A and B are shown apart, each in its own frame.
Chain A
Amino acid sequence: MKLTLKIWRQKNPNEKGAFVRYPVDDVDPEMSILECLDVLNESLILRGEVPVAFEHDCREGICGSCGFMINGIAHGPERATTTCQLTMRHFKDGDELTLEPWRAKAFPLVKDLVVNRQAFDHIIQAGGYVSVSTGQAPEGNNIPVGKEVADQSMDAAACIGCGACVAACPNASAALFTGAKITHLGVLPQGEPERERRALSMVAQMNEEAFGNCTSIGECTGVCPKEIPLEVIANMNRDYVCGSFNRREDLPAPVAPVVPA
């Protein structure tokens, strides 16, 4: 089939960007949209033009590298699907697809469809871990963890850090991402000792970055390729509220935020 890709081209953060239309013939319904971009890029290179920059790595939906807006939807129209696994059979001959990068102040643009998501790493640095050094671990079965608890933790831990939640949110909030890590660790007995402190410091870091606030709209969970449930935000809020009563003096300083270009 034949498609038109209308792609946001921007050489770097300092230059102005614009949409450019590219017709692509010979689109096979079995190919992924990234393979469709590969085909386009091969032809651009042979014509002496600069190929479209987009982020990708594993191409099997787990590394979280890929992602852009497809017709206004983060990762495109299919539920629970990353951009790399979105096949062209979901589109029709003659369709025009608009591809643009995640738009969020906290994710400054790098080039074309590539943005900088280091703000997510900063949120993890602020407390998204259990403070246990190598060698300190007790025997694995010493602390039983109920299956339901392990499942709830795993549901949240499935987050791939792609940033679709931020891109889809009208406020560009990182609440789903942050809540997912707080839930993953907070419900487990291993994460319990630091639960409130973790929520306080991760939320403080989230606020320090250029993300907006959560107003419970729910677009985030709708586009999440791993279907992280909205409850993780409630968990974050609960731990944060408890923590603000119990551990007010215990706050670590946030690390340096990403400075948007």
Chain B
Amino acid sequence: MKLDAKIPSGPIEQAWAKACFDMKLVNPANKRKHSLIVVGSGLAGGSAAASLGELGYKVKCFCFQDSPRRAHSIAAQGGINAAKNYPNDGESVYRLFYDTVKGGDFRAREGNVYRLAQISGKIIDQCVAQGVPFAREYGGSLSNRSFGGAQVSRTFYARGQTGQQLLLGAYQALERQVQAGNVTMIPRTEMLDLIVVDGRARGIVARNLITGMMSVHIADAVILATGGYGNVYYLSTNAKGSNATAIWRAYKRGALFANPCFTQIHPTCIPVSGDYQSKLTLMSESLRNDGRIWVPKKKGDPRPPNEIPEDERDYYLERKYPSFGNLVPRDVASRNAKAMCDAGYGVGKTGLGVYLDFADAMSRLGEKTVRERYGNLFDMYQRITDENPYKAPMRIYPAMHYTMGGLWVDYELQSTIPGLFVLGEANFSDHGANRLGASALMQGLSDGYFIIPYTVGNYLATNTFAKVEESQPEVKEAVAAVQQKIDKLLSIKGKRTVDSFHRELGKILWDYCGMARTAEGLESAIGKIRALREEYWKDVTVPGSGDDLNESLEKAGRVADYFELAELLCIDARDRNESCGGHFREEYQTPDGEAQRDDEHYSYAAAWGYRGPDAPPELKKEPLEFNYVHPSQRSYK
């Protein structure tokens, strides 16, 4: 099988319009005869389910939370990019496209990124019409701000709660379709397997998390919008429930998994405070617009930050990257913070932290303006650390945040299993090796509102769908496999908790496959992961039963998948003998410590295929072509 990305030929500006015209349509009267499954209710899933419901399809939407409004998109703080050029500062579709391809370190597909930039403006229009209360100027027009990795102000925001407001917009549109009878919302239900019949995705096996009841749902197509796999690292900025089980089970059913090693470490998070730590809290990247990052020039300087005079501070990002300064992309900012701490300049109890200082902004703008821009973030920081960022600088450290890798999809967002579509963070398509700030919300909504309604129609219009019965062997086999796994996990009754395994797995990944990686380290990580996985299946203990609300059991299934995913992540990282974006291999760096790409050998998306529990995965390559933005050494100096 050759990977066909199905990118339309011809000029990139017309590619999406051409594709839309070439796609077959489903007659309005026939739409209600087609059933669709959407798994996940975040920005991608919620907007997809709502839009498909509006078109008249019969949609079932699943989420594991008690309500679709809880999806983790809600936690996105900073904003959403769009090529509106309201500030008249040189923004254009082409520039957003260019910045995204370059920011992704030339490992994203040009066609997809261009389409994303083209659609970005319509997303803002749609959200405004839904009543999303974006920040406004006094004259009533929409307000913009700049964001990490960009030199134009293209980011729209709603205080520090942009994700929340966009998600509520999608959630409300979704609930409107529930009321209209077009969407059936199935909350507190987790997808545990994909049903593939005659090579096509035809349904899912799901488990009700309250009653433990297993159910089978059959449809004409399945849309996964289940987010990223950052929680494989245990400590991350993801919600505790965010997990990779849906995409992982799809991988094991034949969908290819692309670029798993492209993970993003976010530079501005609150540092870890103790072993009990359950998650890491992000401080929006927008803080870097007005905050200045520094460490003391003297190693292990014991003085409180306010007593360290100006000339004894090292504003290392401004020093090393004069043109972007504190606004360098995330991968660069994270790596530099790590380098400073590794060299002994870190601050705070653990030495794993750098200062993010607002003193200059306070004197330039006044406390009132700073409060207006970042008030809720400052409050959150104070609530967690008991320190007042209006008076002393924040302490921040990088943390696992986002995964650019995910299930491989073509231009139509269809995976290698026909009828299985993958949207948002769950796919791999648009961000290459590093995502720019405020682009995740853009991608999720672009996929859900404006792409899938067209492409899924094309799939439905060009295929016929035989009835699938629950008694069919494919269905029975999937249900039995899920049940067997649950029974197995409950029956081990070992001595270690699921969380203790997960924490240990996360530590291995963070140490060997985090901000800096080496072939040797990855090799040893793979060994450690395998050994720990073996121990897991012998010694984990899962209390309670499978027939009521049992969070330990839910976690046990997810962690079992994380072991396998962690191994693939390391295999991919080991296989990619170059540094690019978030994937930094210490062996491959420029003389001044920047990521050194190898375009001659690695200008491709690495799509891995499952070949069985003990066989190594099979690598398929999708070569990347750059006809518009020519690969260059990224420079933010």
Q: Does A242 contact B (CB under 8 A)?
A: no
Q: Does B573 contact A (CB under 8 A)?
A: no
Q: Does A134 contact B (CB under 8 A)?
A: yes
B241→A57 contact, CB < 8 A: yes
A146→B276 contact, CB < 8 A: no
- Give a binary string over B105-135; 1 marks a CB under 8 Å from any A CB, 0 the rest: 0000000000000000110111011110111
B279→A59 contact, CB < 8 A: yes
A31→B67 contact, CB < 8 A: no
Considering only residues 538-580 of chain B, those with a C-beta below 8 Å from chain A are: 541, 543-544, 548-549, 551-552
Which residues in A have their C-beta under 8 angstroms from that of B158?
154, 157
Considering only residues 356-395 of chain B, those with a C-beta below 8 Å from chain A are: 379-380, 383-384, 386
Which residues in B have their C-beta under 8 angstroms from that of A61?
380, 383
B129→A116 contact, CB < 8 A: no
Partner of A58 from B51, B239, B548 at Cβ < 8 Å: B239
B497→A63 contact, CB < 8 A: no
Which residues in A have their C-beta under 8 angstroms from that of B500?
42
B497→A184 contact, CB < 8 A: no
Considering the chains assembled together, what is the distance between the CA atoms of A149 and B140 in angstroms?
9
Q: Does A60 contact B (CB under 8 A)?
A: yes
- Give a binary string over A30-43; 1 marks a CB under 8 Å from any B CB, 0 the rest: 11101100110010
Known: A85-B384, A132-B129. A53 touches B450 (CB 8 A): no
Q: Does B54 contact A (CB under 8 A)?
A: yes
Q: Does A216 contact B (CB under 8 A)?
A: no
- Give a binary string over B47-81; 1 marks a CB under 8 Å from any A CB, 0 the rest: 10011001000000000011111111011000000
Considering the chains assembled together, what is the distance between the CA atoms of A80 and B551 in angstroms?
28
Which of A1-9, A95-103, A136-144, A243-251 forms part of the interface with chain B?
A136-144
Which residues in B have their C-beta under 8 angstroms from that of A157?
133, 158, 165, 168
B131→A184 contact, CB < 8 A: yes
A53→B383 contact, CB < 8 A: no
- Give a binary string over A12-54; 1 marks a CB under 8 Å from any B CB, 0 the rest: 1000000000000000101110110011001011101111010
Name the residue among A12, A28, A125 with the largest chain B CB count within 10 angstroms.
Answer: A125
Distance between A77 CB and nearest chain B CB, rounded to angstroms? 13
Considering the chains assembled together, what is the distance between the CA atoms of A218 and B548 in angstroms?
37
- Give a binary string over A47-79; 1 marks a CB under 8 Å from any B CB, 0 the rest: 011110101111111111100000000000010
Which residues in A have their C-beta under 8 angstroms from that of B179?
125-126, 255
Known: A50-B544, A87-B386. A153 touches B449 (CB 8 A): no
Q: Does B139 contact A (CB under 8 A)?
A: yes
Q: Does A81 contact B (CB under 8 A)?
A: yes
Distance between B206 CB and nearest chain A CB, rounded to angstroms? 18
Q: Does B25 contact A (CB under 8 A)?
A: no
Which residues in A have their C-beta under 8 angstroms from that of B386?
87, 89
Known: A35-B277, A50-B544. A60 touches B75 (CB 8 A): yes
Residue of B nearest to A190 (CB): B131
- Give a binary string over B448-486; 1 marks a CB under 8 Å from any A CB, 0 the rest: 011001000000000000000000000000000000000
Considering the chains assembled together, what is the distance between the CA atoms of A57 and B71 in angstroms?
9
Which residues in A have their C-beta under 8 angstroms from that of B171?
124
Which residues in B have their C-beta under 8 angstroms from that of A105?
none
B129→A137 contact, CB < 8 A: yes
Which residues in B have their C-beta under 8 angstroms from that of A51?
543-544, 551-552
Q: Does B86 contact A (CB under 8 A)?
A: yes
Which residues in A have their C-beta under 8 angstroms from that of B279?
59-60
Considering the chains assembled together, what is the distance between the CA atoms of A117 and B187 in angstroms?
11
Which residues in A have their C-beta under 8 angstroms from that of B383?
61, 78, 81, 85, 87
B136→A138 contact, CB < 8 A: no
- Give a binary string over A112-139; 1 marks a CB under 8 Å from any B CB, 0 the rest: 0010111011001110111111111111
Q: Does A234 contact B (CB under 8 A)?
A: no
Which residues in A have their C-beta under 8 angstroms from that of B18?
none
A133→B54 contact, CB < 8 A: yes
Considering the chains assembled together, what is the distance between the CA atoms of A49 and B542 in angstroms?
10
B131→A130 contact, CB < 8 A: yes
Q: Does A158 contact B (CB under 8 A)?
A: yes
Q: Does B137 contact A (CB under 8 A)?
A: yes
Known: A42-B497, A134-B54, A161-B67. A146 touches B140 (CB 8 A): yes
B142→A121 contact, CB < 8 A: no
Considering the chains assembled together, what is the distance between the CA atoms of A12 and B550 in angstroms?
12
Q: Does B159 contact A (CB under 8 A)?
A: yes
A45→B54 contact, CB < 8 A: no
- The number of residues on chain A lying at the interface, defined by a beta carbon within 8 Å of a beta carbon of chain B, is 80
- The number of residues on chain B lying at the interface, defined by a beta carbon within 8 Å of a beta carbon of chain A, is 82
Q: Does B23 contact A (CB under 8 A)?
A: no
Considering only residues 136-168 of chain A, those with a C-beta below 8 Å from chain B are: 136-141, 143-147, 149-150, 153-154, 157-158, 160-161
Q: Does A214 contact B (CB under 8 A)?
A: no
A31→B274 contact, CB < 8 A: yes
Residue of A nearest to B211 (CB): A12
Residue of B nearest to A160 (CB): B164
Considering the chains assembled together, what is the distance between the CA atoms of A42 and B548 in angstroms?
19
Which residues in B have their C-beta under 8 angstroms from that of A38?
276, 278, 499
Considering the chains assembled together, what is the distance between the CA atoms of A141 and B128 in angstroms?
9
Partner of B453 from A34, A63, A134, A153 at Cβ < 8 Å: A134
Partner of B178 from A78, A116, A125, A188 at Cβ < 8 Å: A125
Which residues in B have their C-beta under 8 angstroms from that of A191?
131
Considering the chains assembled together, what is the distance between the CA atoms of A64 and B66 in angstroms?
10
Residue of B nearest to A201 (CB): B179
Distance between A41 CB and nearest chain B CB, rounded to angstroms? 8
Residue of A nearest to B64 (CB): A57
B276→A58 contact, CB < 8 A: no
Which residues in B have their C-beta under 8 angstroms from that of A12?
548
Name the residue among B135, B159, B165, B279 with the largest chain A CB count within 10 angstroms.
Answer: B279
A140→B276 contact, CB < 8 A: no
Distance between B153 CB and nearest chain A CB, rounded to angstroms? 15
Q: Does B281 contact A (CB under 8 A)?
A: yes
Q: Does A233 contact B (CB under 8 A)?
A: no
Considering the chains assembled together, what is the distance between the CA atoms of A161 and B167 in angstroms?
13
A64→B69 contact, CB < 8 A: yes
Q: Does A185 contact B (CB under 8 A)?
A: yes
Residue of A nearest to B237 (CB): A60
B172→A57 contact, CB < 8 A: no
Q: Does A197 contact B (CB under 8 A)?
A: no
Distance between B611 CB and nearest chain A CB, rounded to angstroms? 34
Considering the chains assembled together, what is the distance between the CA atoms of A61 and B75 in angstroms?
9
B165→A121 contact, CB < 8 A: no
A153→B133 contact, CB < 8 A: yes
Residue of B nearest to A150 (CB): B136
Considering the chains assembled together, what is the distance between the CA atoms of A154 and B185 in angstroms?
27
Q: Does B240 contact A (CB under 8 A)?
A: yes
Considering the chains assembled together, what is the distance between the CA atoms of A94 and B159 in angstroms?
40
Distance between A82 CB and nearest chain B CB, rounded to angstroms? 9
B543→A145 contact, CB < 8 A: no
Distance between B414 CB and nearest chain A CB, rounded to angstroms? 20
Which residues in A have their C-beta under 8 angstroms from that of B276?
28, 31, 35, 38-39
Considering only residues 198-224 of chain B, those with a C-beta below 8 Å from chain A are: 210
Shortest beta-carbon contacts, A-B, top 4: A144-B140, A129-B172, A137-B129, A137-B125
* Selected A-B contacts with CB under 8 Å, 5 pairs: A30-B273, A59-B278, A140-B124, A154-B133, A160-B164
8 more CB-based (< 8 A) A-B contacts, given A62-B161, A147-B136 = A51-B552, A55-B66, A64-B69, A114-B549, A121-B69, A129-B173, A134-B51, A150-B135
Q: Which residues of A contact B (CB under 8 A)?
A: 11-12, 28, 30-32, 34-35, 38-39, 42, 44-46, 48-51, 53, 55-65, 78, 80-81, 85, 87, 89, 110-111, 114, 116-118, 120-121, 124-126, 128-141, 143-147, 149-150, 153-154, 157-158, 160-161, 184-185, 188, 190-191, 255
